Structure 1
Amino acid sequence: MVSAILQPCYEVGGDGFDYTLDGAAAHLLILDGVGKGLSAGLACAVALAAVRAARRDGRGLYDQARAADAALLEQFTDARFATAVLGELDLETGRLRYINAGHPAPLLRAGRMVRELSGGRRMPLGLDDPEVELAEEILEPDDRLLFYTDGVTEANAGDGERFGLDRLVDLVERHSCSGLPAPEILRRLTHAVMEHQGGTPDDDATMVLVQWSGTAAAKTVP
């Protein structure tokens, strides 16, 4: 089961996400175009479209990332780039394969522990990095995987205190133990980020939550 939420800032931001099911595979993508304004939004749109097109052509994660590199290099002359995580989850076995292009590491809640998935590193999309490390993780039933952009952890309170990774991990653990469905967990996480800022957000905040659980999906889908 996949749920996602994007809390936009009042300026044009560069966040985006995409997910789709293809047989027994779930394809996952979260993006953050560098900077703010129209150029950031366009960079996100170009990278997202390139990844989608490569995926529809049956190309794997490596080629999807390289397609985004080529599209950004072709469309922009100012070294415009986007951070991203591209993932593919086998819904039958729980095998997750992913590439992290300069993006915050996804969080995996396995059992009662929350940890970062730190593998799969390469340069951000658009920087022509052929040295791609494809990472792999095996999920167990009911594991939860959270992709997020830096607009979540870098959200500032009035006194300059950031929301931070530790706070995010604590909330993911607390809400996961509550048995709440994924959409409600994302809603509560977003409200926590907004309340921490206490005002107009200065960056998009995006989260994608994946739960590998047939039971959870049955409870969520009408």
Structure 2
Amino acid sequence: MKTSAGFWLLAVLLVAATSFSQTVEKYFKVGGTLQLSPQPVSAEITSIVWKCDKNLLAEWVKDLIELTYYSKFKGRTNLNTTTGVLEIRNMTAEDTGLYSVEINNQVQSWVYQTVAMEAVPQPVVSVRLLVCSSASKSCTLSCDGNVSAAGPVEYFWKIGDGEWKQSGTNMEIINNEETQHVTNFTCRMKNPVSERDSKPLPNPLFQIPSFPSSSSPTTVSDDTESEAPVTLGVVIGSLATVVAFCL
């Protein structure tokens, strides 16, 4: 069975369309600054056109068009005409979109899909079980906070003064000798634009380390006790002899 020329032409067009555009996801913090960089070019940059959703954002052509910003981006945008790097301040959720750039009349294959997100909240470590004490076999700790607008969030835990280790929202602690001597637990929330740590939670399984009892005091023997009166009698007798001699 022969493959038609139309099939191969369609395949070539699909491959070309796929390789022409490469979407790069770019997160930005609401109220923060978004920075977008073009792909490197070997020649001197003489013209730049940035677009947002196919609408003009910034434009510059050397010796022909002065640097111009358009619509809502006026007054909060800076374009470096030497490097092509674009910076937009005071970003809002409405600035989410597809950003593309044309350098020296060539549309670059990179396009940025920007995603707005809030900073992570102040996390709080809490105990999930209603009852958790030093007598419990285990307890589950939770790193709590409203992350609905924070995008993809990663969680990290620190045991006492140890190192941060990535984990999930919850962490189970087992009541064993090692855990009993840990003083506290701390969690961290992190997303592409921010990170925050909780206040340390005192370890609900903490137990005061036990120390070996001190050695028993030395017992005075009966012989020592019986020797005291004898020694005192000898001293008194000697003093009486001395006094009689002097008289």
Which structure carries more relative contact order (alpha carbon 8 Å, separation 6+)?
Answer: 1
Instruction: Note whether the superposition's TM-score is higher than 0.5.
Output: no
TM-score for both structures, normalised by structure 1: 0.21
Higher fraction of strand? 2
TM-score for both structures, normalised by structure 2: 0.20
| Structure whose CA Rg is larger | 2
Higher fraction of helix? 1
